[in-house]
Structure 1
């Protein structure tokens, strides 16, 4: 059959997508949105300079770095530092302490902002709600040095408020700061008090997007407040909870160097020493730069593995995950 060209159709046919046309359109979009890209530039520079460029330093983990020889001339030792670290008797102690603190944080601290956000969401008077929110946000801005100092003032056996109260009613004092059994509970309580209120911001934002008509329909059906929370509120923020849990798993081996370092002493070091303080002790105070870099790289690999694994499990359960 002979092809027939309909008059007038030639003008309506789409032009071929040449590389020049695509480049011209991209350049026009770039000129149109130039201020948005300029606004994005400081954030990109921050991550490039402080996050990606320092990644070159992980090569120290595979070298026997000597400052007077420099990075290039230092001897390449491969996985020697990792072998020494895994065979070190301190490795199991560090792993146990780090995982226990992370596990307690996951069990007690992670649900705390969710529960607090649900409670705040039930407050109907705006004045009381904003007042409570302000009060619970304030500890986030307090330095951990101040928090540790407050803990010392309240818990010390030499005139501490808590111990004076206990002595008045029980006739004895408890050495909270030196007793290894109290170290982990103190760390978890400090974390909850300082960060719980700030963590509610994301969950309150997610709760603000819940359709009010769902609650009205539930009331018509006779559902009480607990049923509404269980069947409407929690499913509405489930995706937010899952994403934050995935991100939390990436920092499972990060327990906060400053807090642990300030609360640790010679008497509770056996339960308080974690990877962060261990890296500081060896890398900064003893100059074992390559060895401490190997420990830090081990932490990073575990974190990436946990993020990918948790994301895979979340997607298997029907959640969107991170990607």
Structure 2
């Protein structure tokens, strides 16, 4: 009687397990070859984020050093959290925090809903020609440089022959120094932002509106719902996830008001309400050479932004909405 040799199942299992990573590598290589042109199109974007976003992140270590350019990065003295302590003890900290949060609050209340409103209005335009024309006109300001926007603001609002002050002088017999008045700075910034960015912001919401089921509108019409009720009960709920996601991302920019716009409109007469973290970092880092201190301020902004994004995402999920992850 011959005994049949049993196969070495343990060796076979080990061989199969070892071949799994190889199969995965082969599968990944096959996918790369198959979609090589798509990945090639993706490469410039990846290089941009790698070079200008991830590599510079090493620079945050300057916040924990007393950086001296002639000593270099590795020989400069490490001081821990000293720069953060100086920043928080600075009397200007609360002024910067107040100005930054106030501007962000105004933009959140007045600017954030504008692209939604414009998208809803454009969605009701039935003539394709008029719709495309309006879209083009409201998109154009996004591509105008902020320097041009500031120049237009100056031409319109200056007391020396400005168009708006000319009308005020003609009909009210008085002039208002909008550019130097602290009480007019924040409304002026919000109006600039709305005019420049609202139209371009409608792109995402119009794309979301394109995915709304038309049958829901037909059923609502059969039930006697007018345009307002259709927008409230069908359109807005359908794009609610998009609104929530953009709001979460917006929370990450609460301490980021945009350096260029504020810097161009800032002057000594409105500084008490116009100075924000972005302009303060520029002033301390570039004009005064306090590289480590300004890096600490920038790191503080980034950390607060991350906390706000994570917190708002958690809150959105608690209320049953789709978060960013």
Normalised TM-score (structure 1)? 0.93
For structure 1, the 5+ residue unaligned runs are 1-14
- Gap regions ≥5 residues in structure 2: 1-14
Residue 127 and residue 33 in structure 1: after superposition, are their counterparts in 2 closer, same or farther (change >3 A)? closer
Q: Is 1:233 paired with 2:262?
A: no
Deviation at 1:108, TM superposition (A): 0.3
**Could you give the per-residue CA deviations for residues 77-134 of structure 1, whole angstroms, max 9, x where no partner exists?**
0000000000000000000000000000000000011011111111111111111111
User: Which residue, 24, 27, 35 being the options, matches 1:25?
Assistant: 27
Residue 111 of structure 1 is matched in structure 2 by: 113
CA distance in structure 2 between the partners assigned to 1:24 and 1:115 by the alignment: 50
**Aligned twin of 2:201:** 199
Change (3 A) 1:267 1:210: same
Matches within 5 A, 1:36-47: 36-47=38-49
Structure 1 partner of 2:151: 149
CA-atom RMSD in angstroms? 1.2
Distance in 2, matches of 1:174 and 1:139, equals: 26
Aligned to 2:287: 285
Residues 126-171 of structure 1: CA distance to partner in whole angstroms, max 9, x if unpaired?
A: 1111111111111111111111111111111111111110111111
Q: Note closer, same or farther for the CA distance 1:161–1:27 as it changes in structure 2 (3 Å cut).
A: closer
Give, in whole Å, the separation in 1 of the partners of 2:39 and 2:165.
Answer: 58
* 1:1-323 equivalences in 2 (<5 Å): 16=16, 18-19=19-20, 20-323=22-325
For the structure 1 residues 28 and 136, does the alpha-carbon distance in structure 2 shift closer, same or farther, using more than 3 Å as the test? Answer: closer
CA separation in 1, counterparts of 2:205 and 2:143? Answer: 19
Distance 1:67 1:220, change over 3 A: same
* Matched length: 309
Displacement of 1:16 in angstroms is 4.4
State the distance in 1 between where 2:25 and 2:239 align.
42
For 2:315 and 2:142, locate their aligned partners in 1 and report how far apart those are by CA, in whole Å.
32
More divergent stretch after superposition (20-29 vs 304-313): 20-29
Per-residue deviation, 1:212 = 1.1
Deviations 1:182-229 (A, max 9, x none): 000000000000001110111011111111111111010000111000
195 and 26 in structure 1: CA distance in 2 versus 1, 3 angstrom threshold: closer
- Secondary structure class of the residue paired with 1:70: coil
SS in 1 for 2:120: helix
SS at match of 1:94: helix
